[in-house]
């Protein structure tokens, strides 16, 4: 089955700096890669996703890149703000309607 590794497990940045979170996956058949943000005690919230036919996708301060050959994908947050502080999870899925395999999460702390 699929295995997703996520690094780093914790990340502390100064407000205004950029943050990068990296994930690797094992199943070359995976073709959908979402990112979720989870605040303490809240539900995981889909913030951006990318499919295997695209190398990069951007939405305001958030961008995701995908390297299918190397089987890794990354989340980039620019101009970080204190409200970006949360746990971020990457995930991978093989087919529409299929389950998500999650990474272990990254706790991002943005210091004002």
Residue count at the site for other proteins (CB under 8 A)? 24
CB neighbours of 41 closer than 8 A, spacing ≥ 6?
none
Report in angstroms how near the CB of residue 104 gets to other proteins at its nearest. Answer: 5
Site for other proteins in 35-94 (CB under 8 A): 36, 42-46, 49, 51, 89, 93
- Both tokens assigned to 57: 């996708």
- Coil vs helix vs strand at 100: coil
Helix, coil or strand: residue 112: coil
Beta-strand ranges (E) seen in the chain are 4-7, 10-14, 19-25, 32-38, 45-51, 56-59, 62-67, 72-77, 86-92, 101-102, 106-111
| For other proteins, the closer CB: 44 or 64 | 44
Is residue 101 close enough to count as binding other proteins by CB under 8 A? yes
- Using the contact rule CB under 8 A, the part of the chain among 14-22, 28-36, 54-62, 76-84 near other proteins is 28-36
Q: Is 104 in the site for other proteins (CB under 8 A)?
A: yes
User: Which residue, among 108, 105, 99, 94, has the nearest Cα to 15 in the 3D structure?
Assistant: 108
Choice from 47, 57, 72, 98 touching other proteins (CB under 8 A): 98
Q: Which residues bind other proteins (CB under 8 A)?
A: 1, 6, 32, 34, 36, 42-46, 49, 51, 89, 93, 96-105
């Amino acid at each position: 089955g699929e295995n997703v590794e996520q690094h780093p497990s914790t990340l502390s940045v100064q407000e205004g700096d950029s943050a990068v979170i990296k994930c690797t996956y094992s199943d070359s058949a995976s073709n959908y890669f979402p990112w979720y943000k989870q605040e303490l005690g809240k539900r995981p919230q889909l913030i951006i996703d990318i499919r295997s036919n695209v190398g990069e996708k951007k939405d305001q301060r958030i961008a995701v890149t995908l390297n299918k050959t190397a089987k890794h994908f990354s989340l980039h947050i620019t101009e970080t703000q204190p409200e970006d502080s949360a746990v971020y999870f990457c995930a991978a899925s093989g087919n529409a309607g299929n389950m998500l395999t999650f990474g272990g999460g990254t706790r991002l702390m943005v210091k004002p």
